[in-house]
Amino acid sequence: MVKDIPDFSLEIASGTNLVAGVDEAGRGPLCGPVVAAAVVFPRFDIEIPVVIRDSKQMTARQRAVAYEWIIANTTWAVAQCSPAEIDEMNILWASMCAMERAVEKLECNPVFCLVDGNRLPQKLHGLTVVKGDARSLSIAAASILAKETRDKIMSDLAQQFPEYGWDKNAGYPTKSHLQAIEKYGINSHYRKSFGPVKERIKNEIKND
């Protein structure tokens, strides 16, 4: 049973109609970019005929249907930070940067941002909301776009590097993924500052 159904309460409380929900996907994986999305609904009394909630509580089919509805009925943007940028900044600041980029790419200029989590990116004006994708429809919509976009990126990369199973593990450190890294090594899509990858590099240097 889903306990938390997001609504527009936080958006309405902001006092403006131009509210962007902002969320990211991909902090934990060992490879691929971190992806952020920003979503602005045209109005808060809009009829929503699809399921929109925390993307982790949705089935793949529900996310796919919601994704298509969101991109057709809202103002939205997605942005990312590459593995190299993640290694340079660290994953926290890369996530903040990706969220700022997503908001900057919006065709409208939101007056207020609702950001999932407990840290507000420096360039954004708004409010942080812990577990925001369970409370705000705008954040929930952003979480769906971010996850669907990142999953698509990893599925496309899996066509080039099928040995890692990125279409199934999305780059997360599953047992089979770690075994694949041990067998095949790493490539430019890996985050070299992340523990298992860093350890692999250290072992390769040691064995040279």
What CATH class has 9-160?
alpha beta
Between CA 32 and CA 11 the distance in angstroms is 32
pLDDT(208) > 70: no
Strand partners, 34: 81
Q: Which of 187, 133, 134, 141 is nearest to 164 (CA)?
A: 187
Between CA 103 and CA 94 the distance in angstroms is 14
pLDDT(56) > 90: no
pLDDT at 1: 39
The pLDDT tens digits of the residues spanning 2-48 come to 457 999 999 999 999 999 999 999 999 999 999 999 999 999 999 99
pLDDT over 70 percentage in the chain: 97
What value does the mean pLDDT of the chain take? Answer: 95
